[in-house]
Every structure is written in structure tokens, then in C-alpha cells.
Chains A and B, each alone.
Chain A
Amino acid sequence: MNTIIKLFASILATLSLVAGARAQHSHTQLPSRSAPYSAHTLELAESLPVQDGGRVKPLSTYASFTLLRFNGKSSCKTVDGTKLDATSWLLDVLFYPEQAAEYPVFKVDDIQAIEAIGLKLEGKKKRDRYTFNEIRPAISTLFERAREYGQKEERDRSTVEQQVFTLATSIDDYIRLRTHFDFAREPQSIADVPALVTVFGKDSVSFSELMTKLPELVELQGAWRNDPARGEDSKRLVQLVQTASEYTSGTETLALIPPITSVKEEEAWHSPADLFMAAFEKQSTPTPYIDMLAAFEKLALSSGDPLQFEMALATVHNQSVAKTMARGEYEKIPLEISYYKAQFITNSLVLFLIGFLFAAGMWLLPRVKALYWGATLSVVGATALVVGAIVVRCMIRERPPVSTLYETLLFVAGVGAVTLLVIEWINKQRMALSVAAVLGMVLLLLANGYETLDKRDTMPQLIAVLDTNFWLATHVTAITAGYAAGLVAAAIANVYLVTRLFGIKKNDPTFAKLLSRMTYGSLAFALIFSVVGTILGGIWANESWGRFWGWDPKENGALMICLAQLVIMHARMGGYLREFGLAAATAFQGTVIAFSWFGVNLLGVGLHSYGFTSGIHTALWSYYGVQWGLVAVCVVHYLVQRTREDAVKQALATRGGGPAIPTTQGRAE
């Protein structure tokens, strides 16, 4: 038996009928979609569970991150410019592949990458989007180039080479999606082989029907292959199975079929290709899988008729959800859909922006109370949304708030805004409120930018050593809170520097003093979390690897934050830094945090270089540049000012005149 299976497998591999043409396959006779999907259809599609990236998630999440990867955003436009959400787009790619091939969804940042694969397209901008049909003629060149560039390390590739490589990856994935349901679309005719008609009881056979009989077919082939009278039948039989195999190849990317067993017995979901290959070895496919395949066939074949399509989708949905629920993997799916639907982060960003506008107005027209209240409400609302987002994410993944670089951004935004609101509540000087609006806005913009750069699910599975809720909850949370408070301090310090540089509120020494106290307070808050977080990190490392401290870049970064904050604290205590010095040093300390947070990951060494960071380089260096520049200018300005004041003081003293004029710098307490 075994040899027959082997033989069959080898036949499948050696006799390639449809050949490479399938990648280029045109689904010419397919119907096209004329009306948008109904709300119910979309709802069913969105909540269809799929296993991707090691976890079960709603199809909508899969769709939006896939589209984000291709298109740079999680929506796209159709030929006539109508906006399409990610799930509709994915449905089109799967069920109306020829129509979807006309949507411009492949974003290329530099047209040179398109020219490099030999395409000449009129009317395209330097950065533009391309349809699959536009790329199609150059696919083989694209893959050839990508293979060539893929041999180089990512850091050695030029920008254009990297773009070609990325485009090839996208196109490759896209082809797998558009051909995914080929198996379901095309029943094979066996009318010319009476023996097969007898087996199946009909003269055309679908993939699911073939799967039910696959063990029999393997046996039949064993019997027929040495029978001269059966030569033709044998050939047709091989062809039948071969074609089915061709149709399923490449379907591995989308695992829509939940196993019928428990998670403990079988964690990995199935694709049609897996089932097909398993059928060779296990010889029989459990009926629920056959039913599921049949449901997919019905779905694929009803794509022209919206009503039929919805009903078929409902069948698929019911079967899949029932099994997923039985496995206990469905619980969080509705929550995840609502999370993305609610658009916490985008809404929060908008509210922070409104808050910022109110705050700006508030400083221009200090008498108008309404502006203050507007700012307060918006910032509080925005903060609540960020906190809400963090909480919901914790619930979906059953994890502490921070487990990825993306989540550090959300968490720093949340903790930073809350800290500033508390400060505002204590001193009610409007300053902290305004800083909260700016800080929240910047951090959430960064979070969005990071998500777009990273192009991957922001709730991924973690590698073995990180997968521990206890340490994620303690060390990671503490250290990230330390980042947040340290950045809050840096932000307030910058306000101090700027107001001083431009002589704003020159005659109000209490204002400067207040800013200085706020800086000091946040720094103290930051110090607690940084020191405790850093030591906890060491303790975790000791628990995981047996060493408390290994001078790993990320560890060093954390230590540098602690040291920077300690130096400032002690220098302030010793009176070596006063109001201005404190502000300048704290502002600088912000760049130390940035170095530890993102900078060390760019070094590419050590245990902690997780996360996609190459696009962050520019943002990071801009921050360093601006911050260091500002501090330098302020220091020069301060020194010049002080020399001048000293001169005046000297002059007054030599004249033996009145009391010494106090310098602008208030003495430390």
C-alpha cells in the first residue's frame, strides 16, 4: 500500500499538467460583482475564524493586515474609485479574482522598482499603487529579481531592491489568495471514463467528492496501472488526482478549516492542501472536513448571486464557528471584531488633536473658560479611549498590557496622559493638560506609523521566552511606565526651555518654578519605575537564563535611563543643577529613553532586538537632532543671559548701589 502511495505522490509531482500557468491563471468565465456586499454577508465574513500567525482570529483582522501589507492602509479603492473595506476586498480577491485584479492595491514607494522589473506604465507617479493586472506581465521577472536580492541580507539591499523584494512577497501571497478557491470552482469531467463514472455515480466530480473517494482511487490506480486494458483509464485517473493536487497547492496560506479534535490533540488548523496530503497517508477524510469543503464549493460557485452567496457563506460560517466554539477558540473573536470596529486609536487621536486645538485657543484667550473645559473633556475622552484600547487588548489576548513594541507606544501614551491629567488635577495650571494633548497625539501618531511600517498583526504570538504573563506584567509594565513618566518629564522640561528661550511669561517666576516642580515630580515618578523595572528585568533574566545582568544592549539602555535620572536627581539635590539645568538635563534624558526604547533595537545585536524597526531610524534621529539642538541653543542663550546679568550686577555692586537684582534663575529650595 505504502509504495502505491509513494508512487502516486511521485506521479503528482512529476506530471505537472496545469504547470506554472496556474499562477497566471485567468478566471475568464467568472461572474463579477455588481452590488456591494450586504451588511449581513460582511458580518458573516468578518467573523469567520481563521488561524494565522499562530492564533485564531477573525477573517476581518486577517484581511485588514493583509491589505495593510500590500496597500499601506487597510482599505482600498475599486476601479471606479469606490472605497472598499478590507473584508470586502478579501472576498473579492477570493471569489471575484478577475474583478479584484483591477484594484490598485500594491503600493510601491518608488517607480524605479517597477521599472527594474521591466514594466513601463504610463501616468504613474513616483509613489503609486498598482493593480495585479498591471504587474502580471512582469511576474516572472519580478520573482527572478526578488530571488536574486533575497540572497542578500536585508541591510545590504538598496531601497529599490528592497521594494522589489517586498512587492514580490506581496504578489506571491496575493496569487495564493486569488487561486485559493480554484479547487472549489472547477468540478472535473470524468464522462469519458466509464469506470470512474461507476465509482462516483456521476460524470463530473467536485473536489470534495474526489476527497471522499481518494483512498479508493489510490487503490484503483494500483490495480489499473499494470493492466494494459486499463491504460487510458489509468491515465485519466492520474490526471484527475493530479489536477486536484494542483488546485490545492498554494492553499496552505489560508487555514480556514478548524480541526474536529480538541486543541490539545491538534493545534494546527487545516487548509485544503493539508487535507489533500493527509488523505494520501490516512486514507480517509473525516466527513466534517468533506462537508466543509463542499460548503466552500457551494460558496465559490454561487459567487454571482448575492443571495445564494450569503446563504452559502452562512453555511460555511455555521460549520466553522460550531467547530471553533467546540475547541474553545471562538470566545474572543467577537471582541476582537468590535475592537477594530470601534477604532479606539483613531478616535483617540482625533480627540487628542481637538484637545490640542482647544488648548492652543486656551493659551491665546485665557479668559474663555469654555476652551479650558473643551480641552479637558477632549483630553480626558482621548485618554479614556487609549486606556480602553489597552484594556480590550488585554482581554482579547489574555495578556498584560505590554507585550510588543507597538503596545509600548499605546501604553506610554496612556500612562503619560493619565500622569499629566493627575498633575493637572493637582495644580490646575492648564500646562499639564496641554502637554497631555501634544504627547498623546505624537505617541498615537507614532503608533499608527509603526503599525503601517510593521505591517503585521499587532497582537502576535510571542517567542518562548517572552511568553510569561508574570514577567510581562511586572518588568515590562514597570519599565514602560518608566518610559512614559520620563517622557512626560522631558516634555514639561521642553515647555520650560521654550518659554524661557522666547521670554514667554518672563515676569512670572512662579510659572517657571511650577514647571520645574512638575518636571522634578514626573522625573521622580519615572525614577521609581525605571529602577524597579530595570532590576525586575534582571531578576527575570536570572529566572530564564541564570544571569541577572549580561550587559545586553536593551539592559544597558534601561540602566542608562536609570543613571541619567539618578544623575539629574543628585545634581539637583547638590544644587549643581537648578531650574534651568534641571530642564535642560531632563529634556536630554528624553533622548536617552528614546535610545533605550527604539535606538538599541537598531543596533541589531543582543537578545532584545525584537520588532521591525528599520523605518524608525529617521524618526529617532529627527528627535535626537531637534532635542539636542534645542538644548544646545537654550544653554548658549542661558549662558549669554547670565553673563549679561552678572555684568549688570557687577556694575551695580561697584557703584555700591542698591540691593542686588535677583537673577531670573530662582534658587533651589
Chain B
Amino acid sequence: MRAQCCAALILAAGASSIACQREAPSERQLAAAKEYTAVGRKIRWNAPSAERFGISSSDFAGASKGGAMGGAMGGDDVGENALHWELPSGWVERPSAQFREANFFVAGDERAECYLTTLAGEAGGLAANVNRWRTQVSLPPLGEAEVAALPKLPWLGGQAAYVDFEGHWTGMSGDQSEQGWRLVGLLLVQPTGSRFLKMVGPSEVIGREVAAFRALAASFHDGAGHAHGDGAPAQTAPPLSPDQATQGLPAGHPPMGSTAKGGAGQMKSETIADAPAVDTMRNASLEWRAPQGWKRGPEKTMREVTYLADAAGQVECYVTLLGGSGGGTLANINRWCTQMGAAQLTDADMAKLEQVPMAGAAGVIVKLERGADATAAAGQDLLLGAVSMLSERALFVKMTGPRDAVEAQHAAFVEFCKSLKAAR
């Protein structure tokens, strides 16, 4: 009986394996067509490849927000003012991210990035942004006059500053270390809103792609007045042609700032390279790096994170993130003034304050001594505060403690503020 069963199994196996043989057929006859009304479907005939694959037009970049369902969520819900552009050949478009309205890998090289950021208002001003970028490539900041002397290009209806720096890339939060990188960018700073187009990567890659970068910049234009559905968004005359774009700099002009090679940039890079690596911390809304020796303090509501900055635990530093503008930078700084019993600041005073890049916007730093009228708790002799207005949110960092102890943490405080960024 057992032998019978085994034989039966083998038989069945043989039969089934014969039935399972498959090979590629060379021809297939298709079944008859069906006709129906496809509800909710809008076909765009003659869509170019770029639009079909969604790799080059911002029209459809937004649709990727639909998530896992991909093609299922065809997006027609594109804002009228969305930007359009033409992807340079060989570049790869990446999904747009926070602070990155358009986002690319330059020449398909994953080290080299290019992206467009739009911020409300002047975003801290031109100089702050130029110098933020210079810091990222380990170059010393430029003075007001030098910033003013940067070449200007017409871009998106305004005059944009054009920069081309080369140096030691430390990353946006100083956590990277790459020798011989180049940063090319356009900064359009206007009270009505600012736009930044930045390309950064290894010099040899960027060098080849500068023309492509200018062409990309030239191809940017608002969707306003542009009819959707004609299938050729790039054919509308852009406000800036590639030819115009190169006017700013003569062909073969060496990138600005490259003269600093081996100078200050180099020195700074060494100190950063020597600095011990600190892990990036993050929570739901922010990422940051804690300076050496800072200890995590207890969690409190309305605070993103609290640190005790000195060994004795007397210097407290914490971060708050609020929706809205929280009354604006000046109002908030003046609250601190009240608390420390210091004189209220005016707009003029504000302008003199130290600026730092914080979470993609310009932040200001104040240092307030305790006055006679202070309401702050005892032991809070010195206050270091930083305020940064992000889009729709306000970011505050505050450090208090005994005078000398806080003073000793000044540099660390600034580093900490710089390391803050919006969590991805």
C-alpha cells in the first residue's frame, strides 16, 4: 500500500510538471476590445516622455505625494502658480521635499545635488544666505560690499545674485567633510519672497554641469497664464534664456571664491575634521546635534528638547517650536528682555544682532545680562537666545545660567543653533 502511494504521488508529480512547462510564445492574439466610460479618468494624449514618467515636470511631482499608489492617483490638482522647468539632460529629478520645491541629482550623480528653495520674505537677507553657503564650503564670510558686488542675473522676474564657490564641503549642518567641492547658486532675495537655486557637489562634476545649471535656471517659470494640457510646458518663452544667463559671467570665468583655496577654507576644514563626531539627534519635527559635554535634560511639554550644557547642570538650554510667527522676532526677543530686566530693543538694535542660519532660515542671537528688574529665577544671570522665523513656524533656542558658565558655552550655543534643521 505504501509503495502504491509513493507511485501515485510520483505519477501525479510527473503529470503536473509536464502541464507546467512554459516558454515564451512569439505571438499572442488579443481578445476583442471593450468599450466603456472610464469615470474619473482624464487622458492627456501626446504627453511627452518627461511628463509620462514624471521625472521632469513639476506638474506631476506633486502627484507623488499621493503615496504608495503611484499611478493610481493621477494628479490634475496642480496649483496654477506651480513652477515649471526643463530638466537638463542626464539629471535626475527627485521627489520634492521640505524646503526643496524642485530637487535633482546633477548628471545622475548622487553626490551632486541641485535644488530650489522658496522662503517667505527676505529670509534673513542676501548677505546672510550668501555667507551661510560660504560657511558650508568652509569659506570666510563676505562683507556687505563684497556681497553687493556679486554678479547679478535676471531670474524669475527679479535680479538674482550669482555665486560660485569652491572649498571644503561641510554639509548644511557641518556634518560632512568633502574636499574639493563646488557650490554654484542663484539667490533671489525679495521682500515678497525669496528663491534660492543651489547646486553643490564634487568640483569635477559641477564644473561640467554649470551650463546645464544655467539652462535649468533659465527654464524656470511660473505656471500662471500657462495653459495646462498643451503637452509642451517648456515651449512658453522663459523670462531668461540660457544666453542671457551666461551674460553675468564671461565664459571661462573662474568660480568666485576659488582663490581662497588653501587659505582660510582649508584651515577651517581641519578644525572641523578634528572635531569629534557627534551623532545627529532628532524628534518628530527637528534634527540637531548636541555639542560636546551637553547632557539631555528632562522632557517638558512645549519644548522640543532640553539640555544641561555644563557639568554642574546650572546652564539650561532648550528649544521651542511654535506654530505661527509668535508675534515676530522683535516681540519675542523683547519678552526675553523683560524677563531679564534688560532694556527693550528697537528695530535698529535688531539689525546689529549676530545672525546664524537656523533650520533653513536666518536666525538672530541675543545675549542679555540680568538687570535689576529681572523676573527670571535666581541663577539666571545671563541669557543667550536665538529666534528664527521659519515658514509658518517660529523656532526659539534659549540658554540661561550663571554668567561665566553661559559665557563659556557661547560658541557651543551658536553651533547648536546652526545644527538645528527641520526633520525630514
Q: Is A235 an interface residue (CB 8 A)?
A: yes
Bound-state Cα–Cα, A10 to B335, Å: 10
Q: Across the interface, do A143 and B336 meet the contact criterion of CB distance under 8 Å?
A: no
A570 to chain B, nearest CB (A): 13
Q: Across the interface, do B316 and A14 meet the contact criterion of CB distance under 8 Å?
A: no
Q: Is B301 an interface residue (CB 8 A)?
A: yes
Q: Across the interface, do B298 and A10 meet the contact criterion of CB distance under 8 Å?
A: no
Contacts of A6 in B (CB 8 A): 324-327
Contacts of B131 in A (CB 8 A): none
Contacts of A19 in B (CB 8 A): 316, 377, 400
Q: Is A9 an interface residue (CB 8 A)?
A: yes
Q: Across the interface, do B298 and A140 meet the contact criterion of CB distance under 8 Å?
A: yes
Q: Is A195 an interface residue (CB 8 A)?
A: no
Contacts of A252 in B (CB 8 A): 301
Q: Is A232 an interface residue (CB 8 A)?
A: yes
Q: Is B302 an interface residue (CB 8 A)?
A: yes
Contacts of A16 in B (CB 8 A): 300, 303, 318, 398
Contacts of A144 in B (CB 8 A): 295-296
Q: Across the interface, do A235 and B377 meet the contact criterion of CB distance under 8 Å?
A: no
CB under 8 Å from chain A, chain B span 310-327: 313, 316, 318, 320, 322, 324-327
B339 closest partner in A (C-beta): A15
- Shortest 9 CB-CB distances between A and B: which pairs? A10-B326, A144-B296, A23-B298, A249-B301, A7-B327, A13-B320, A20-B297, A13-B302, A20-B298
Interface of A is mostly: helix
Contacts of B322 in A (CB 8 A): 9-10, 13
B174-199 to A contact mask, C-beta < 8 Å, 1/0: 00000000000000000000000000
Q: Across the interface, do A17 and B295 meet the contact criterion of CB distance under 8 Å?
A: no
Contacts of B375 in A (CB 8 A): 17, 235-236, 239
Q: Is B396 an interface residue (CB 8 A)?
A: yes
CB under 8 Å from chain A, chain B span 338-380: 338-339, 373, 375-377
Q: Across the interface, do B296 and A143 meet the contact criterion of CB distance under 8 Å?
A: yes
A6 closest partner in B (C-beta): B324
Bound-state Cα–Cα, A250 to B303, Å: 12
14 pairs across A/B with beta carbons < 8 Å? A6-B326, A7-B326, A14-B398, A15-B335, A15-B336, A15-B339, A16-B318, A16-B398, A19-B316, A20-B300, A141-B295, A144-B296, A235-B338, A235-B373
Bound-state Cα–Cα, A23 to B327, Å: 29
Q: Across the interface, do A18 and B308 meet the contact criterion of CB distance under 8 Å?
A: no
Q: Which of B298, B332, B400 has the most CB of A within 10 A?
A: B298
Q: Is A261 an interface residue (CB 8 A)?
A: no
Chain B interface category by residue count: 35 or more
B379 to chain A, nearest CB (A): 9
Bound-state Cα–Cα, A18 to B303, Å: 13
Q: Is B112 an interface residue (CB 8 A)?
A: no
Q: Is B56 an interface residue (CB 8 A)?
A: no
Q: Is A197 an interface residue (CB 8 A)?
A: no
Q: Across the interface, do A143 and B327 meet the contact criterion of CB distance under 8 Å?
A: no
Q: Across the interface, do A13 and B396 meet the contact criterion of CB distance under 8 Å?
A: yes
A13-B302, A13-B396, A14-B398 are known contacts. Are A140 and B373 too (CB-CB below 8 A)?
no
Contacts of B377 in A (CB 8 A): 17-19, 21
Bound-state Cα–Cα, A19 to B302, Å: 11
Bound-state Cα–Cα, A9 to B335, Å: 12
Q: Across the interface, do B295 and A140 meet the contact criterion of CB distance under 8 Å?
A: yes
Bound-state Cα–Cα, A10 to B398, Å: 13
Q: Is A12 an interface residue (CB 8 A)?
A: yes
Contacts of B295 in A (CB 8 A): 140-141, 144
Q: Across the interface, do A249 and B302 meet the contact criterion of CB distance under 8 Å?
A: yes
B342 to chain A, nearest CB (A): 12
Q: Across the interface, do B298 and A3 meet the contact criterion of CB distance under 8 Å?
A: no
Contacts of B396 in A (CB 8 A): 13-14
CB under 8 Å from chain A, chain B span 370-418: 373, 375-377, 394, 396, 398, 400
Contacts of A15 in B (CB 8 A): 335-336, 339
Q: Is B269 an interface residue (CB 8 A)?
A: no
B interface residues, Cβ below 8 angstroms from A: 281, 295-303, 306, 308, 313, 316, 318, 320, 322, 324-327, 331-332, 335-336, 338-339, 373, 375-377, 394, 396, 398, 400
Q: Across the interface, do A250 and B301 meet the contact criterion of CB distance under 8 Å?
A: yes
Q: Across the interface, do B326 and A139 meet the contact criterion of CB distance under 8 Å?
A: no
Q: Across the interface, do B335 and A143 meet the contact criterion of CB distance under 8 Å?
A: no
Q: A13-B322, A250-B301 are in contact. List 4 more A-B contacts (CB 8 A).
A: A19-B400, A232-B373, A235-B373, A238-B335
Q: Is A147 an interface residue (CB 8 A)?
A: yes
Q: Across the interface, do B301 and A14 meet the contact criterion of CB distance under 8 Å?
A: no
A468 to chain B, nearest CB (A): 27
Q: Across the interface, do B332 and A14 meet the contact criterion of CB distance under 8 Å?
A: yes
Bound-state Cα–Cα, A649 to B299, Å: 81
Q: Across the interface, do A140 and B308 meet the contact criterion of CB distance under 8 Å?
A: yes
Q: Across the interface, do B327 and A3 meet the contact criterion of CB distance under 8 Å?
A: yes
B78 to chain A, nearest CB (A): 31
Q: Is A515 an interface residue (CB 8 A)?
A: no
Q: Which of B296, B297, B301, B324 contacts A273 (CB 8 A)?
A: B301
B239 to chain A, nearest CB (A): 37
Bound-state Cα–Cα, A172 to B300, Å: 10
A228 closest partner in B (C-beta): B344
Bound-state Cα–Cα, A20 to B319, Å: 12
A144 closest partner in B (C-beta): B296
Bound-state Cα–Cα, A22 to B377, Å: 12
Bound-state Cα–Cα, A147 to B301, Å: 16
Bound-state Cα–Cα, A22 to B306, Å: 13
Q: Across the interface, do B336 and A14 meet the contact criterion of CB distance under 8 Å?
A: yes
Bound-state Cα–Cα, A15 to B398, Å: 9
Q: Is A11 an interface residue (CB 8 A)?
A: yes
Q: Is A175 an interface residue (CB 8 A)?
A: yes
Bound-state Cα–Cα, A234 to B281, Å: 38
Contacts of A347 in B (CB 8 A): none
B283 closest partner in A (C-beta): A147
Contacts of B300 in A (CB 8 A): 16, 20, 22-23, 249-250
Bound-state Cα–Cα, A24 to B301, Å: 15
Contacts of B281 in A (CB 8 A): 147
A138 to chain B, nearest CB (A): 11
Q: Across the interface, do A24 and B326 meet the contact criterion of CB distance under 8 Å?
A: no
A10-B322, A141-B295 are known contacts. Are A20 and B316 too (CB-CB below 8 A)?
yes
A236 closest partner in B (C-beta): B375
A16-B318, A236-B375 are known contacts. Are A140 and B301 too (CB-CB below 8 A)?
no
B282 closest partner in A (C-beta): A151
B392 to chain A, nearest CB (A): 12
CB under 8 Å from chain B, chain A span 1-50: 3, 6-7, 9-24
Q: Which of A17, A20, A236 contacts B306 (CB 8 A)?
A: A20
Q: Across the interface, do B298 and A12 meet the contact criterion of CB distance under 8 Å?
A: no
B305 closest partner in A (C-beta): A147
Bound-state Cα–Cα, A336 to B326, Å: 47
A237 to chain B, nearest CB (A): 11
Bound-state Cα–Cα, A18 to B332, Å: 19
Q: Across the interface, do A14 and B299 meet the contact criterion of CB distance under 8 Å?
A: no
Bound-state Cα–Cα, A273 to B320, Å: 18
Contacts of B376 in A (CB 8 A): 17
Q: Which of B296, B298, B299, B318 contacts A24 (CB 8 A)?
A: B298
A249-B300, A250-B301 are known contacts. Are A10 and B306 too (CB-CB below 8 A)?
no
Contacts of A3 in B (CB 8 A): 327
B1 closest partner in A (C-beta): A574
Bound-state Cα–Cα, A273 to B300, Å: 13
Q: Across the interface, do A10 and B327 meet the contact criterion of CB distance under 8 Å?
A: yes
Q: Which of B297, B313, B320, B373 contacts A14 (CB 8 A)?
A: B320
Q: Across the interface, do A140 and B398 meet the contact criterion of CB distance under 8 Å?
A: no
A249 closest partner in B (C-beta): B301
B393 to chain A, nearest CB (A): 11
A152 to chain B, nearest CB (A): 12
A470 to chain B, nearest CB (A): 32
B288 to chain A, nearest CB (A): 12
B1 to chain A, nearest CB (A): 10
Q: Across the interface, do A11 and B335 meet the contact criterion of CB distance under 8 Å?
A: yes
A17-B377, A140-B313 are known contacts. Are A10 and B394 too (CB-CB below 8 A)?
yes
Q: Across the interface, do B297 and A140 meet the contact criterion of CB distance under 8 Å?
A: yes
B283 to chain A, nearest CB (A): 9
